[in-house]
Amino acid sequence: MFSILSRTLRLVAARWPQLLAWYLAGWLARYLLIEVAAFFGATSALVGLLLMPLAILARLGSYIAMFLTLRSALPGFVSIEVKGEDAVDRTTTTGVPSPRQRLYDILLVSILPFFAFYAAWQLLADDTRQYAQAALKNINFFEGTHTNSVLSIEVSPYSIGAILVAFAGRFLIKRYSSRLPRWTNLVAVYLEAVWVYLTLFLITSYQKEFQTWLSDRQAMRSLDELRQGLIGFFTPIGWIYDGAQQLVNEVGGLVLLPIAWLTLAGIVYGRALASPRLGLRVPDNRLYTGARARFARLPPALSTRLKDLGSDWAGRWRPFADALLLIWRAGVVPMGIFILAYTVLRASNTWLDFAAVRVIGPHDLSSWWMNFDQILSFVVDVIVEPLRLCLVAAAYNFCLVRLEKRREVAARVTA
């Protein structure tokens, strides 16, 4: 049960220099790409935001590299990988993806969940804010050649068209990948990042307007009046409601973030296997069978196009569902220990900042701390981030080991 913590320390001892190098490389690449996007964004907001996905891809690539650096030190992953290779006829390599193809698959399937996670925890907003500040520094307001805003992207034929073109381009490259040169895989990764980034950017841009529109609906007003009436009739209902709302907010932040990281590790490691053995089966039932029968009666041309779109969409979410299922089967108590350890590690950022400030001592705010504060935060991140990845990888290794034990028990029972 506490093997997650011991495995984390072993991973740190074995892979710390490599993890640090990959993290610094990702941070530097992200910083430079944001500066490049800001340079072009000073004259065209759309061009700048078309380059911004590259910065997030740099961070995603560094995290994937860190996870893959740790995989050879994970007994659970190595065990499943060896068994998967043993199941393949070594006289042929048909159907077994090359390491380069696996890396491409990992990148492609990780973009949508990682970007969604990136936006949910305000990391997308932080990068966008950094881009906007850098772009504003590049604007010469006296020449009059700049746009009104470096973030002046809204729902319009241009933005929707850019999303549709990127999505269609990525779909066509995947469909005809066997006929295209290998470098088009990089184009597909970029196009996937573009349509996801622009979609999330527009959603977050209109989030406040949507919330305002929703709160003005008559149904929401009726619900609010009903709640106020119940509170006026019985005051403790208000206490219960406020307490439950605060509990959901706090627990959601504490639980969802480590689970999201663990799910990302599951996506990376699941796609890294030569013969993935983790999968979900759709149970046979009347509704599912009826839907398949109706689908079979469609014209062949239409059914083929729908199958292509369906398999493309399902391919994005199947690794995500597989990872969640694996985490669910690991057990509540071990995952609780992982979440607690993750929360303590996350809080250590604040503790290290506070400790460093106490050690450094008092200095002038404008001449010292305004310049040194960001450097201090960066140093703390450099210390904590590799530890976080080791903890997440150790927790996923526990999930794999628990899965193998369940399979061994089931094999003995059936035998």
Residue that has been written with the tokens 């996670």 in this structure = 117
DSSP, collapsed to helix, strand or coil, labels residue 234 as coil
Residues whose CB is less than 8 angstroms from the CB of residue 164 and which lie 6 or more positions away in sequence, other chains included: 195
Between CA 284 and CA 291 the distance in angstroms is 11
User: Distance (Å, rounded) from C-alpha 132 to C-alpha 148?
Assistant: 12
DSSP string, 75-114: HHHHHHHHHHHHTS-TT--TT---HHHHHHHHHHHHHHHH
Output the six-digit token pair for 218: 């008559």
Task: Supply the pLDDT for residue 36.
Answer: 92
Question: Which domain range does residue 316 map to?
Answer: 3-211+250-414
Number of domains into which the chain is organized: 1
User: 243 lies in a domain?
Assistant: no
Residue 69 CA, chain-centre distance (Å), reads 18
- Rounded Cα gap, residues 290 and 109, in angstroms: 30
Report the C-alpha gap between 389 and 382 in whole angstroms. 12
What is the three-class DSSP state of 297? coil
Residues of the chain with pLDDT under 50: 85-96, 145-148, 274-280
Taken in order 37, 43, 49, 51, the sign of the CA dihedral is negative
Is residue 377 in some structural domain? yes
Asked whether residue 232 is domain-assigned, the answer is: no
Q: Answer yes or no: are the C-beta atoms of 322 and 280 closer than 8 Å.
A: yes
The whole-number pLDDT of residue 117 equals: 81
The Cβ of residue 304 has, within 10 Å, a number of other Cβ atoms equal to 11
Helix (H) / strand (E) element for 344: namely: helix 332-360
DSSP state of 144: T
Of 121, 5, 123, nearest to 55 by C-alpha is 123
Mind giving me the DSSP string for 122-145?
THHHHHHHHHHHHHHHT--TTTT-
What does the pLDDT read at residue 65?
A: 92
pLDDT at residue 74, as a whole number? 86
pLDDT at 87 (0 to 100):
43
Q: Decide: 381 and 375 in contact? Cβ < 8 Å.
A: no
Q: Is position 230 within any domain?
A: no
d(C-alpha 318, C-alpha 260), whole Å? 15
Vertex 105: Cα angle to 101 and 110 (nearest 5): 155
Residue 226 located in a structural domain: no
DSSP code for 182: T
Can you read off the two tokens belonging to residue 226?
């009903």
What the block records as the tokens of 227 is 């709640």
Closest CA to 307 of 290, 319, 295: 295
pTM of the model: 0.77
Q: Give the pLDDT confidence score for residue 394 in this predicted structure.
A: 92
Compute CA 356 distance to the chain's CA centroid, rounded to the nearest angstrom: 31
The pLDDT tens digits for 293-337 are 665 666 666 655 555 556 556 556 666 677 777 777 777 888 888
Residue 229 lies in a domain: no
pLDDT of residue 94: 44
Rg of the chain over all Cα atoms, to the nearest angstrom:
25
* Location of structure tokens 């199958």: 307
Q: From CA 260, how far away is CA 221, in angstroms rounded?
A: 34
**What's the pLDDT at 106?**
82
Phi and psi at residue 144, to the nearest 5°: 75, 20
Residue 242 belongs to some domain of the structure: no
Collect all residues with Cβ–Cβ distance below 8 Å to 123 and sequence separation of at least 6. none
Give the other-Cβ count within 10 Å of 393's Cβ: 30
Burial class (CB in 10 A: 0-12, 13-18, 19+), 346: middle
How many residues does this entry show for the chain? 415
Query: CB of 64 within 8 A of CB of 268?
Result: yes
Residue 85 lies in a domain: yes
